[in-house]
Each structure stands twice: as structure tokens, then as C-alpha cells.
Amino acid sequence: MPVISLASVKGGVGKTSALLALASDLAVSGSNVVVLDADPNGHASRIGARMAKRLDGVAFAALGGITEANILASIKKARTEADYVLVDLPGVSSKLTLLGLARSDLVIVPVQASEMDIHDALQTVENVKQAGEAADKTIRACFLLSRWPITIESRAAKETRKRLQSKAPDVAVLNTPLMDRTAFKEMTFNGAPPRLVEPGGNAAANVEAIRREVLALLGVEVEDAA
Ligand SMILES: Nc1ncnc2c1ncn2[C@@H]1O[C@H](COP(=O)(O)OP(=O)(O)O)[C@@H](O)[C@H]1O
Ligand SMILES: [Mg+2]
């Protein structure tokens, strides 16, 4: 089943936060989800374990210890078991990252509103292309505007959208940004998906809109069990 990776050569852009928000929302919506944590800092698997406890009775698992040696086998196995496999890739270009990209059906590249983020996001897209060439297939990528201001869009935010579209016209920018919200920080402490904390709240609606866009890119028709 589809493999969705979160990737950026830049650290701190919100890969792990976006991954956990999306993964938990997919699980709460009735899909069987496996998170593979390929970042040696182990945040996705540590917080994912908390999330799994919160998601009692829901098919959600987060596995750590993904390395260069086992990433291909781990993705292969997870694909056979899960409806969606979400892979948290390290914030560097490495063999591990390249292997993870090569096995992805969609790569989500979070970008904050800054020139530095745009630069590194474009580099990440180049890495995705290279992985695609190595695997002899086209790997789809999209930008996710990340840690986005919830108030009116700043000049930097508008400029970021504009530059991404002009510099990488073939890579979609998701319409819905992942907003900068305390709910996404709280999720890291308690492992609670926003949709369980406040169903119908702003954070939950934000993640749901992103989930729908991501599934549309994968060509999946959205039918919620919830
Ligand atoms: N949407 C968001 N709203 C609020 N805080 C966020 C959001 N996304 C990320 N953060 C915070 O930004 C920091 C970096 O996020 P993280 O997900 O760890 O990025 P990465 O995995 O790319 O290194 C963390 O402190 C995290 O809590
Ligand atoms: Mg991370």
C-alpha cells in the first residue's frame, strides 16, 4: 500500500510533526497505519509509541531502528501489512534517505516561510528526482507549507508560495498549510492526535484537510469511517 515519506535536507521544518499528525488522522479515519522512523533521533517512534497507546483499538504502529541496512526490507514488510506506510526520513542527504525516497509513492517536503527553507526544499526535490532516476520511476513530491502563521499571511509567507511555484512548477504546493498551533506541540508531549483532543477543532480540521489533499494526490478516494 502507499508509502508516504516526509523529507527535507533541513532539520526543524516540521517533518516529524506533520508525519505524526497525518499518520494519526489516517488511523482515526479507519486506515491501518505503520510509521517507520528512519531518523536516528528517534522522535517519531518515541512519540509514535505514546500515540499508539492513545489510539487504543486503532491499527497504528510506530517502529524505530530503521537503518540503511534494513530500510528496504522494513518498507516492503510494512507495505504488505498496512494501508499506509509513513516514513520519517533524516534531515540530511544520505544513503538511508535516498533508499527511503526511492521506495516512496509520495514525498512530502515541509517548507517554512523563509528563503533558507525554500533553498533546502528545492534541494530535497532534486534528491527525490535522483532517487527516481536510480529506481527508474517518477516519484511524486509535494510541498507542505509548515508551521504557517495562523493570522494573515506575512510577506515572507506569500513570497514562499510564489517562489516554490516558480522554481519548481512541477511540484504541487498543498493548498492547506500545516498551521503553527500549540495543539501540534501538545501532541508531542501526550501523543494525542488533535482529532481526539478536540474533534472538529481548528487543528483537527487542519490535519483533515491535509489528509484529503494527500490522498487526492495518491489518487485515493476519501471515504471516512468516522
Ligand atoms: N505545525 C506546528 N505547530 C507548532 N509547532 C510546530 C509545528 N510543526 C513543528 N513544530 C515545532 O517545531 C520544532 C521542529 O519540528 P519537527 O517536527 O521536530 O521538525 P523536523 O522533524 O523537520 O526536525 C518542534 O519543536 C515542533 O514542536
Ligand atoms: Mg524530525
Residue 153 has what pLDDT?
76
Domain assignment present for residue 203? The answer is yes
pLDDT digits (tens, 9 = 90+) for 74-107: 999 999 999 999 999 999 999 999 999 999 999 9
Domain assignment present for residue 225? The answer is no
The answer to whether the CB of 176 is under 6 A from ligand 1 is no
Residue 57 has what pLDDT?
87
Nearest ligand to residue 108 Cα: 1
Domain assignment present for residue 223? The answer is no
- DSSP collapsed to 3 states, the chain: CCEEEECCCCCCCCHHHHHHHHHHHHHHCCCCEEEEECCCCCHHHHHHHHHHHHCCCCCEEEECCCCCCCHHHHHHHHHHHCCEEEEECCCCCCHHHHHHHHCCCEEEEEECCCHHHHHHHHHHHHHHHHHHHHHCCCCEEEEEEEEECCCCCCHHHHHHHHHHHHHCCCCEECCCCEECCHHHHHHHHHCCCHHHHCCCCHHHHHHHHHHHHHHHHCCCCCCCCC
Cα 44 to middle of ligand 2, angstroms: 7
Q: Which domain holds residue 68?
A: 3-217
Q: Which of 8, 147, 151, 206 to mutate to test the pocket of ligand 1 (most atoms within 8 A of CB)?
A: 147
pLDDT lower than 50: segments of the chain:
226
For residue 110, which atom of ligand 1 is closest to its CA? 22
Residue 151 has what pLDDT?
84
